[in-house]
């Protein structure tokens, strides 16, 4: 079956382990799209952060903020109009983590930098939020076996997941498609992936919740 992808600039979001990078990779390969992926491993503080969040939270967040800003600003404007662009995070993701990881004075300083940058980044035509319960996320994280994530506190993962769900419950800046991924495997099952493409193309405005049962 042949598909095209109608939204031209798509940001795919989700908690740690939701599968956002996997979906970006699959869609990028399927449609020969420009892809932008955040690379957690490039953050020199990330491993120490998971071992000691209080000591390394600020350095970790500032590195991510500036790196994500540069990635968004490096998107070629011509490509945004002439080809499909897929990003595996929404820029606002960074501040969600900052609210969890930073102390009061650190967050105030962070927000001063964030406010200078956030209005300059381009907005997607569509945001896809991949939703999953915390147990499913934990299983996926264990399966991919990234060394630095082995230090992750299970309670921290649950807090991150609740923060993302709360944020997207109120999100209204762009069209939003919320996909419950608990029961599907779009990486291993082609039919699940094809159904996602159909749903992405059919969503035009506002917010929509999609709860597939999987194959």
Residue-wise pLDDT for 110-147, tens only, equals: 999 999 999 999 899 899 999 999 999 999 888 887 77
Q: Can you point out the beta strands (E) in 49-116? A: 85-87
In a domain, 98, yes or no: yes
In this predicted structure, the answer to whether residue 38 has a pLDDT above a threshold of 90 is no
Longest dimension (CA), the chain: 54
Instruction: Determine the Cα–Cα distance for residues 118 and 122; give it in Å rounded to an integer.
Output: 9
Quote the pLDDT of residue 2.
47
| Section 10-20 average pLDDT | 93
| Section 59-66 average pLDDT | 94
| Section 163-171 average pLDDT | 96
Counts of helices then strands in the chain (DSSP H, E) = 9, 6
Quote the pLDDT of residue 201.
85
What is the band of 3 on the pLDDT scale with cuts at 50, 70, 90? Answer: low
Instruction: Determine the Cα–Cα distance for residues 45 and 91; give it in Å rounded to an integer.
Output: 20
pTM for the full predicted model: 0.88
> Could you tell me the CATH number of the domain that includes residue 130?
3.40.50.300
In this structure, the number of other CB atoms found within 10 A of the CB of residue 159 comes to 13
Residues 71 and 122 sit within 8 Å (Cβ to Cβ): no
In a domain, 46, yes or no: yes
Task: Give the contacts of 30 (CB within 8 A, at least 6 positions apart).
Answer: 3, 5, 197
- For residue 149, give its domain range: 9-210
Quote the pLDDT of residue 1.
47
Quote the pLDDT of residue 97.
94
Instruction: Determine the Cα–Cα distance for residues 84 and 98; give it in Å rounded to an integer.
Output: 30
In this structure, the number of other CB atoms found within 10 A of the CB of residue 116 comes to 10
Task: Give the contacts of 139 (CB within 8 A, at least 6 positions apart).
Answer: none
In a domain, 82, yes or no: yes
In a domain, 151, yes or no: yes
* Residues in a beta bridge with 14: 130
In a domain, 3, yes or no: no
In a domain, 127, yes or no: yes
Instruction: Determine the Cα–Cα distance for residues 151 and 50; give it in Å rounded to an integer.
Output: 6
At 173-215, the pLDDT tens digits run: 999 999 999 999 898 899 999 999 999 888 878 999 999 886 5
Plot region of 145 (φ>0 → left; ψ -120 to 50 → alpha; else → beta): left
Instruction: Determine the Cα–Cα distance for residues 98 and 68; give it in Å rounded to an integer.
Output: 13
Q: How many domains does the chain have?
A: 1
In a domain, 182, yes or no: yes
In a domain, 125, yes or no: yes
At 69-113, the pLDDT tens digits run: 999 988 856 555 567 899 999 999 999 999 999 999 999 999 999
């Amino acid at each position: 079956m042949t598909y095209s992808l109608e939204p031209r600039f798509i940001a795919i979001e989700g908690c740690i382990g939701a599968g956002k990078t996997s979906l970006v990779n699959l869609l990028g390969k399927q449609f020969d799209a420009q892809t932008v992926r955040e690379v957690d491993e490039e953050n020199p503080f990330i491993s120490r952060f998971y071992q000691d969040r209080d000591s390394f939270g600020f350095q970790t967040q500032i590195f991510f903020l500036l790196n994500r800003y540069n990635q968004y600003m490096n998107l070629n404007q011509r490509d945004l109009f002439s080809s499909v662009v897929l990003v595996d995070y929404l820029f606002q993701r960074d501040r969600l983590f900052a609210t969890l990881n930073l102390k009061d004075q650190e967050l105030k300083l962070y927000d001063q930098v964030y406010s200078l940058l956030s209005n300059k980044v381009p907005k997607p035509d569509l945001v896809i939020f991949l939703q999953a319960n915390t147990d499913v996320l934990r299983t996926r994280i264990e399966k991919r076996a990234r060394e630095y994530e082995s230090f992750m506190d299970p309670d921290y993962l649950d807090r991150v997941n609740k923060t993302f769900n709360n944020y997207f419950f109120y999100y209204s800046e762009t069209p939003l498609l919320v996909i419950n991924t608990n029961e599907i495997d779009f990486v291993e099952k082609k039919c699940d992936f094809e159904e996602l493409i159909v749903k992405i193309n059919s969503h035009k405005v506002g917010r929509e919740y999609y709860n597939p049962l999987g194959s």
